[in-house]
Structure 1
């Protein structure tokens, strides 16, 4: 798929030959909720109907966990268009999603953390 397939849809001077919203059939709202940090991964199940080359490219990227933002960067499409493609793949059971895990935050008064930051800054100066 990779570079050979990209060559069909990209032109060095003009850029992408197919307009982004043509890829999503003009849809701008995904059927599933995605954050840019939502992780997507292939289920191993193939879609029952052929969804098109862009869907296949996205599905090929999702062999392992990958964020929505990473997928959008790889396929060179706006995030909203990528989310529509991903939601199509989720709807047909080819992808699964996982919300980003919240990072444990330290309390603002955590003295040890503040001292470690201060120590690190002094070391760099």
Structure 2
């Protein structure tokens, strides 16, 4: 019995390399290196209309329960807004750009489902009289 013969391959006869494995999608629905589909944003937000004056730090709070007529994105937004969240946080959680978030939030504001609040601004420096009172109190100890 003779052993099997090995065949030599010539450079042009090599089989093609296997295709690369599919990349995992990022949490925002975007694959690595590929831009988001702008058609998807239009489907989510609908035609462009009037927008509410919102900042990244504007707080959004849900006012009512989730009605069955809202879109899935709006329902998710209402679930997140049981406690006040900024527009920037909502944008990050939903993986949508700020412009799309303003459209969604404007629709919810006009429907009366959410309320937009100005952010709570804290005073940058405490009052000088309070600092002096604390300093004198510490010196008396």
Q: Name whichever structure is richer in strand by fraction.
A: 1
The two structures have a TM-score, normalised by structure 1, of 0.64
Q: Does 1:37 align with 2:76?
A: no
Runs of at least 4 residues of structure 1 off by over 3 A?
9-18
Aligned-pair CA distance for 1:11: 6.8
Q: TM (normalized to structure 2)?
A: 0.58
- Once residues 110 and 97 of structure 2 are traced to their aligned partners in structure 1, the CA distance between those partners, rounded to angstroms, is 20
Q: What is the number of residues matched between the two proteins? A: 99
User: How far apart are the structure 1 equivalents of 2:106 and 2:86?
Assistant: 13
Kindly state the Cα deviation for residue 26 of structure 1 after the two structures are TM-superposed: 3.6
The higher relative CO (CA closer than 8 Å, separation ≥ 6) is in 1
Checking the alignment, whether the CA contact within 8 Å between 1:36 and 1:69 is kept in structure 2 is yes
Which protein has the bigger helix share? 1
Tell me what 1:96 maps to. Answer: 115
Structure 1 unaligned residues grouped into runs of 5+: 1-8, 113-125
**Radius of gyration: which is bigger?**
2
